[in-house]
Structure 1
Amino acid sequence: MDNNKKIQDYRDLLIWQKACQLIKNGLRILKGVKKDFISWTIIKQAVNSLLSIRANIVEGWCGHYGKSFASYLEIARGSVGETEDWFYALFDEKYITEEVYRNFSRDCRELMAMLTSLIKKIRNK
């Protein structure tokens, strides 16, 4: 996105774009996980929390303004944390490698930092 471009749609938001990248990467990782009862349980929760990130950004943008939008961003930030923890569970149970987990965790933390920055900006207006 061009940083000088006026934001007219949620798709223009860098946080939405980053969430889309995180979802694509997360789903790609999850597709490669060996499937059994435990992994299916974790995967289902991971997919739900992963998709919730972008959904809350969109819901907040489309239906709420100002500080109310910030509340939806806080929910999205919580979903990022939840998602990161589900991926930790996959790592802890040896379904994904430490490298895969660390890279995914780094991406989660980047998005959390972006969300935190925008939340602070909105709340301080």
Structure 2
Amino acid sequence: MARKRFQELQVYQLSEQLADDIWKIVDGWSFFAKDTIGKQIVRSADSIGANIAEGVGRGSFQDNRRFIKIARGSFNETQHWLRRAYTRNLLTTE
């Protein structure tokens, strides 16, 4: 069975979409919000897809699994920053 390229993985595509959506939202924030929460949330969201891609590129199941766990950690971090941004009225439910 042939391996999928990481770009074809649905989870990778969703991570790209999430990171791009977050970037667009943060881009409209004030300097203070961008410099504090904004940088953190953009980095953690970008890290999700980057770790998925790196894991696939490592070639072994064990390495891939390790990087998927790191991606999951970045996803949890992104959720944390989204909650902080919402609580601080930088985001709405829309």
1:67 counterpart letter in structure 2: Q
Residue of structure 2 equivalent to 1:75: 70
Residue of structure 1 equivalent to 2:88: 93
Q: Distance in 2 between matches of 1:65 and 1:12?
A: 18
Q: Distance in 2 between matches of 1:48 and 1:59?
A: 16
Residue of structure 1 equivalent to 2:8: 12
Q: Which runs of 5+ in 2 are unaligned?
A: none
| TM-score normalised according to structure 1 size | 0.67
RMSD: 1.6
1:52 counterpart letter in structure 2: S
1:8 is displaced (CA, Å) by 3.4
| Number of equivalenced pairs | 93
Q: Which runs of 5+ in 1 are unaligned?
A: 1-5, 101-125
- Superposed, 1:1-125 pairs within 5 Å as 7-36=3-32, 38-97=33-92, 99-100=93-94
Percent of aligned pairs sharing the same letter: 30
Question: Are the aligned partners of 1:33 and 1:39 in contact in 2 as well (CA < 8 Å)?
Answer: yes
